[in-house]
Amino acid sequence: MEGAENLPDGPFILAVNRVGGFDHLLVTQAIGRPMTVVTSRGDGLLRIPTLATTGFGQAGRAASEEVLASGGIVLVFPERVCGNDGAVHRGTADTAAVAIGAEVPIVPAGLAPRTHRGSTRNLADAPARWAIGDLRYRLAIGKPILINRYLGLDEPGRVTDGLIMRGLVDSVMSRIAELANRRYVDTHSFDPDLRAANRNPVLNPVDPASLREWVTARRRMQRERRETQRQRMAAEAELARILDEQEAAEITAAQEAARRWAEGVESGGR
């Protein structure tokens, strides 16, 4: 693994490209820290009963938020399925939605195969699946992508939030392609024939409108929470100012009383 120093100590989303059916095992073994994997039926990932998982969609996003709120790590493959063409494909917006809702960074990582002898083939054009016996894998961790600048943008709304999610996830996928040393293709890796036949739910992403509504609601809650915090801080500052003034007045009064007492003692001694 390369770039381990880029992993935050707190909660974060680890976004990785797809290579094969063991991607989640390769990543969790390399990271060596407990994490929850976002999966869905038909994504080609081997099911491991002992591995904590959650899904896509509203329930999955809420579950991921709970993991992150407790300080955990969420592992997600934004492409969902392998493209089988050696490229990194466009990611779905769920990753950005959860990051914005939980207010956590996204850490991009590139997973790429290489030979046992350590020499890397032309990974930019390599097939996504080679014989497991011929390969080892390299996991390159990139610097966290912070979402603070996305949270303070214009008033929450469907159009704005849709653009925010797409811009964020596109930035993540481009970085993943660089880390994996693979070309980036700005199309989903879903098989159009299977999607048309509706034979696999993973090939039918969450309705963009409902996803935008979910993020818009989260951003409004965040804005209201920040406003409440601002008001509370202002109230605390005002209270501190009043207490400081009262304390200063009491000190001044005590000093004046002491001065008068001293003057009285001095006058009595004459």
Instruction: List pLDDT tens digits, range 118-173.
Output: 444 444 444 444 444 444 788 999 999 988 776 665 555 555 666 777 888 889 99
Q: Is the pLDDT of residue 199 over 50?
A: no
**Beta partners for residue 89, in sequence order:** 185
pLDDT the model gives residue 254? 79
**CA 233 to each of CA 85, 144, 220: distance values in angstroms, whole numbers, following the listed order:** 54, 30, 20
Assigned CATH for 4-225: 3.40.1130
CA distance between the termini of the chain: 89
Entry pTM: 0.68
pLDDT the model gives residue 117? 43
pLDDT the model gives residue 196? 45
Could you state, in order of their start, the residue ranges of all structural domains in the chain? 4-225
Mean pLDDT of 172-184: 93
**CA 244 to each of CA 49, 217, 231, 241: distance values in angstroms, whole numbers, following the listed order:** 60, 40, 20, 5
Mean pLDDT of 170-185: 92
The predicted-structure confidence for 69-113, as pLDDT tens digits, reads as follows: 999 999 999 998 887 788 899 888 888 888 888 889 999 999 987
Q: Is the pLDDT of residue 226 over 50?
A: yes
Q: Is 38 helix (H, G, I), strand (E, B) or coil?
A: strand
Helix (H) or strand (E) holding 37: strand 36-38
Between 36 and 207, residue with greater pLDDT? 36
The predicted-structure confidence for 42-70, as pLDDT tens digits, reads as follows: 788 888 888 888 887 778 888 998 999 99
Q: Is the pLDDT of residue 35 over 90?
A: yes
DSSP state of 104: -
Mean pLDDT of 28-35: 90
Q: Is the pLDDT of residue 32 over 80?
A: yes
Mean pLDDT of 184-193: 72
Dihedral (CA of 144, 145, 151, 152) sign: positive
Helix, strand, coil in percent for the chain, rounding step 5: 50, 15, 35
Do 204 and 198 touch, CB atoms closer than 8 A?
yes
